[in-house]
Amino acid sequence: MKRIAILTSGGDAPGMNAAIRAVARKAMYEGLEVYGINYGYAGLVAGDIHRLDIADVGDKIQRGGTFLYSARYPEFAQREGQLKGIEQLKKFNIDALVVIGGDGSYHGAMRLTEHGYPTIGLPGTIDNDIPGTDFTIGFDTAINTVLESVDRIRDTATSHTRTFIIEVMGRGAGDIALWAGVAGGADDIIIPEHDFDMAHVAKRLKDGQERGKKHSIIMLAEGVMSGDEFAKKLAEHGDFDARVTVLGHVQRGGTPTARDRVLASKLGAYAVDLLLEGKGGLCVGIKDNKIVANDIIETLENDKHHPDMSLYQLNQEISN
Ligand code: ATP
């Protein structure tokens, strides 16, 4: 093993830069040459590949986004694109690849593995929706960003005695809504992983208001329905004068938290250790507070991400 490359793919997440830095610095520490690939799989296929030296990853640990840029490149789902990518890596004499991204990016890494190219996946997405890890790089920052907004919205909600529906990201996963909902004291949390009954939601809100509660907050995961649709359906059960806030892309950016930086640093360095041991075809993660590596094909085929549903029950019991 002499040369490795790194790419970031899919939605950007805070801590991706810290992960690139960790992979690069650890590899350099071990005497390897490191290459950066711009724009994810699109850049891989196009040969947008360049040498990284130690200074290139300096002053990056605290930055959001990814300095290697990211891209959506659906063509990489085709065999032709995958083989072209491997051809480019071979042209640069690169022995292994580290992919930092979400579920889709992991599928790209899995295909490279199936073609026999040593690839390791690092979980980088705010959604926390990847199997094989309890937490992804970027999730902690995202929930703290959401929480800051929830606290601000609560000030307004209290001042005007209003109900706010806050729509948060997560695609098909409810993790952001669950964690930020519990931390923000949301009256109810609506996620794809748990059915809800609008009459019951309305009753919770009414009970709170009858007790003299001045604010009501519903945390809604985007995978269930839009905030506007939810507000319309809620209105069928009473006059809540609900306002909708869609947090959108603010959840993606910003300075990574200490937790995300430390997780990125640990996972990045571990990926290099594995490659030095001659191990590819893996995805790394954190499970029960331990850094782990799993077979990427097996993980994607047989494992499924499950949010911590004890948070849902907890919120029903202690909020509202
Ligand atoms: P996030 O969940 O944070 O948006 P992601 O990695 O899941 O991140 P996607 O857009 O789903 O984001 O995937 C990123 C890229 O991975 C795609 O643009 C494509 O290049 C590649 N990819 C996705 N699915 C596959 C697949 N089935 N096979 C090969 N490559 C894939």
CATH code (residue 115): 3.40.50.450
28 falls within a domain:
yes
- Best residue among 7, 8, 9, 98 to mutate for probing ligand 1's pocket (most ligand atoms within 8 Å of CB) is 9
Q: How many domains does the chain have?
A: 2
The answer to which of 81-90, 92-101, 234-243 has the lowest mean pLDDT is 234-243
Which residue, by CA, sits nearest to atom 12 of ligand 1?
10
**Is a pLDDT exceeding 90 seen at residue 314?**
yes
Quick one: 46 and 10 in the same domain? yes
Quick one: 53 and 151 in the same domain? no
pTM above 0.80, yes or no: yes
> Which residue of the set 12, 127, 129, 140 is catalytic?
127
Quick one: 225 and 131 in the same domain? no
**Is a pLDDT exceeding 80 seen at residue 127?**
yes
Q: Which residues are annotated as a binding site for ATP?
A: 11, 72-73, 102-105
Quick one: 86 and 106 in the same domain? yes
Q: Are 207 and 237 in contact (CB under 8 A)?
A: no
318 falls within a domain:
no
284 falls within a domain:
yes
pLDDT band at 95, cuts 50/70/90?
very high
Print the SS3 string covering 294-318: EEHHHHHHHCCCCCCCHHHHHHHHH
* Mean pLDDT, the chain, whole residue set: 96
Quick one: 14 and 106 in the same domain? yes
Mean pLDDT of all residues in 102-108: 97
308 falls within a domain:
no
For the Cβ of 41 lying below 6 angstroms from any atom of ligand 1, the answer is yes
159 falls within a domain:
yes
Predicted pLDDT at 215: 84
Question: What does the DSSP assignment read for the chain?
Answer: --EEEEEE-SS--TTHHHHHHHHHHHHHHTT-EEEEETTHHHHHHHT-EEEE-GGGGTT-TT-SS-TT-----GGGGSHHHHHHHHHHHHHTT--EEEEEE-HHHHHHHHHHHHTT--EEEEEB-TT---TT-S--BTHHHHHHHHHHHHHHHHHHHHHHT-EEEEEE--TT--HHHHHHHHHTT-SEEE-TTS---HHHHHHHHHHHHHTT---EEEEEETTT--HHHHHHHHHTT-----EEEE-GGGGT-SPPPHHHHHHHHHHHHHHHHHHHTT--SEEEEEETTEEEEEEHHHHHHH------THHHHHHHHH--
Quick one: 193 and 54 in the same domain? no
Last residue of a domain, one of 234, 252, 270: 252
Among residues 37, 45, 47, 49, the alpha carbon closest in space to that of 8 is found at 37
Predicted pLDDT at 166: 98
Predicted pLDDT at 267: 98
Predicted pLDDT at 157: 82
Residues 32-54: tens digit of each pLDDT: 999 999 999 999 999 999 999 99
Q: Please give the distance, rounded to the nearest whole angstrom, from the Cα atom of residue 72 to the centre of ligand 1.
A: 7
Quick one: 175 and 273 in the same domain? no
**Is a pLDDT exceeding 90 seen at residue 78?**
yes
Predicted pLDDT at 213: 86
312 falls within a domain:
no
Mean pLDDT of all residues in 102-118: 97
Predicted pLDDT at 156: 87
pLDDT band at 311, cuts 50/70/90?
very high
Quick one: 179 and 272 in the same domain? no
310 falls within a domain:
no
CA 72 – CA 10 distance, rounded (Å): 6
Q: Please give the distance, rounded to the nearest whole angstrom, from the Cα atom of residue 314 to the centre of ligand 1.
A: 33
pLDDT band at 217, cuts 50/70/90?
very high
Last residue of a domain, one of 218, 234, 252: 252
Quick one: 11 and 117 in the same domain? yes
Q: Which atom of ligand 1 is nearest to the CA of 9?
A: 14
Quick one: 244 and 149 in the same domain? yes
Full residue range of the structural domain in which residue 279 is found:
3-138+256-302
Quick one: 289 and 222 in the same domain? no
Q: Please give the distance, rounded to the nearest whole angstrom, from the Cα atom of residue 81 to the centre of ligand 1.
A: 13
132 falls within a domain:
yes
Q: Please give the distance, rounded to the nearest whole angstrom, from the Cα atom of residue 123 to the centre of ligand 1.
A: 12
Last residue of a domain, one of 219, 252, 285: 252
Predicted pLDDT at 77: 98
**Is a pLDDT exceeding 90 seen at residue 88?**
yes
Residues 233-280: tens digit of each pLDDT: 999 999 988 999 999 999 999 999 999 999 999 999 999 999 999 999
pLDDT above 70 covers a percentage of the chain that reads: 100
Predicted pLDDT at 271: 98
Quick one: 243 and 274 in the same domain? no
More confident residue, 158 or 81: 81
Q: Which atom of ligand 1 is nearest to the CA of 71?
A: 18
pLDDT above 90 covers a percentage of the chain that reads: 92
pLDDT band at 143, cuts 50/70/90?
very high
